[in-house]
Structure formats: C-alpha cells, structure tokens
Amino acid sequence: MELLLLALSCLHFLKTEAVVGHWCYRTQKCEQPQCEDPPRWHLVNAECKGSKQSPVNIVTQNVVFDKSLKPLTFEGYDVKGSAKWLLENNGHTVKVALNSSPKFGGGGLRRKYKAVEFHLHWGVPGEPQIIPGSEHSIDGEKYPMELHVVHIREDVSDVTEAKKTPEGLAVLAFFVKADEENKNYATLLSELENVKFKGNTAQMDPLPLMSLLPPEEDLGKYYRYEGSLTTPDCHEGVIWTIFEKPVKLSLAQLSQFAALHFDSSNSSAMTENFRPPQPLNGRKVLWSGASIPLPLAKLLLLALALSCTLSSLGH
C-alpha cells in the first residue's frame, strides 16, 4: 500500500513538474487542463499578483488631467526600414520583431524609448461585437482588439536589460475598432496564413510603423499610468500610454486572425488572448486633456465673455 501511494505521489510530482511555468489563456484550458489561466498566473510568476498590474479599466470620471502630457514626438516612425520584419506565432499571439528602432519621446517622459516589437490581443475575430478582446477598457467598454507597441529605453540593449532598469519599458497601446478596410494592414494580414501554428515564423517587407497607427495629428489625446506587462512574467515598471483614437480595421480584416492557432494544426483557434482588468490599487490614471489646445480654448472663452458683455451693454 505504501509503495502504491509512493508511486502515485511520484506520478503526481512528475505531472506537476512538467507544467510548472506553463501559463495560458482561459480558452486553452479545455485542451490543456494543466495550464495556469490568468487568475492563477501568480503560480507561474509571483509578480503577477503585484500591486501595479496591467491592464486596467479606465474610469474617465476619475482620470487626472496633467498639463505636462503634451503630444508625443516620434522619430523614424514614418520611415520604412531596410531590414525585414519577423512575424512569429509564439503560442499566445502574433508578434512582430522590428529590426529598425523607431523612437518616441516627449509627453511628460524623461527620456526616449525605442520600439522593439508589436503584437495584438483580441477576442473572437469573427464576432468582435459579442466577445471584444481589447485588454484595456474605457468605462467598462472594450474594443474588438488592442495593439501594443513595446519600447525599451534608448540607452539599454534589450528587454532583459530594460527590466533591470528603472522606467525601462514603455508600451504604446491602440484600440482597434471594426470599421472600414485599412489598406495599410493588407501585407501584415496576408502573412497570418504563414504563421498559423505555434513556432511558425515568416518574414515580411517592413512598413513605416506610423502607417499602422491612427494619423499622428489624432494622437494628442491619451491616458498614462504605471503598470506591468500583461503576460507572465507580469514585470512591473512599465509606462503605459493608451490612445483615445482607435485604429480601424474592417470585419473581414479582423476575421483573418481566426487563421491562428494556439498550438499545432489540430489545436484550438487562438481566441480571447487577453488578460482581464487588474485592480488599480490607488494608482492614478493621467489624461492629456482636450483636443483643443488650452490657449485657443481660453481665447474662445474670452470671445464668448466679450460678446456677452457687449450684448448686455446694447440693452
């Protein structure tokens, strides 16, 4: 009897050993019951239970206007690099590694950051209205998809080094809404067929990164807060900038993400690869303010006040 119990405990140990460090999304649980879904990610990385986790639900009534949050300055974002982009299905999303290093700065930040990769999170691509998949939400409302452009401080060499450095990482987040067709995404979307399964990679001709984003003149309104990466290791120390203006893709374009799978050819489709909102724990979400520059707004108020005064004098 004791030998049987010992054998069973050894089997259990081997079984649990095999899955340590294996995290997944809720939609993968049927296929991989041993994997840890978002509520249990802290069992894979303790930091996932930290006090500054991402994503968050942004309650617009509670945001703090910060006049230092001027429009960001972009360098090399409108340049088409010479090196190919590397697409990879990493079993959680489609990730695009950038070989050139577009940078951004300004917007109340103390330094510049260089882009290293971008990836997306989504719900059910064919039915974005029913199961939207953005990670952040505004007043509880989610978008079909969210684009993350991951940056590291310009004075560090890679993400590993950035994690060891204060304010080492900065992510620019863009909501994606179902709207008209976006021709700028055609090349990227056509490559999804080539990275259907986990571990698949493909190269594509680079694009100016700005071509995948809303027009630069629409990027003045954004939210800012201190958070974490939204996948294990859930590293904290990430400066988040979430733009109000969404990227537009058509329903047909969103549906192309249905080609992707979490694992091999007979695995389930890659759907709902987002982390639920995390508690703010007293953190403030800052807001860059209205789209009308303040001096102009003041002039309008002044003109209004003047016309009221003149009309009252006329009576």
Contact 140, 281 (CB under 8 A): no
Q: How far apart are CA 254 and CA 128, in angstroms?
A: 8
Cis bond before residue 233 (omega within 30° of 0): yes
Q: How far apart are CA 296 and CA 304, in angstroms?
A: 12
Q: Of 12, 22, 42, 92, which one is the catalytic site residue?
A: 92
92 flagged as catalytic: yes
C-alpha distances (whole Å) from 172 to each of 4, 74, 240 are 55, 12, 6
Q: How far apart are CA 69 and CA 60, in angstroms?
A: 16
Contact 97, 85 (CB under 8 A): yes
C-alpha distances (whole Å) from 146 to each of 221, 249, 307 are 17, 11, 45
Contact 257, 122 (CB under 8 A): yes
Give the active site residues. Answer: 92
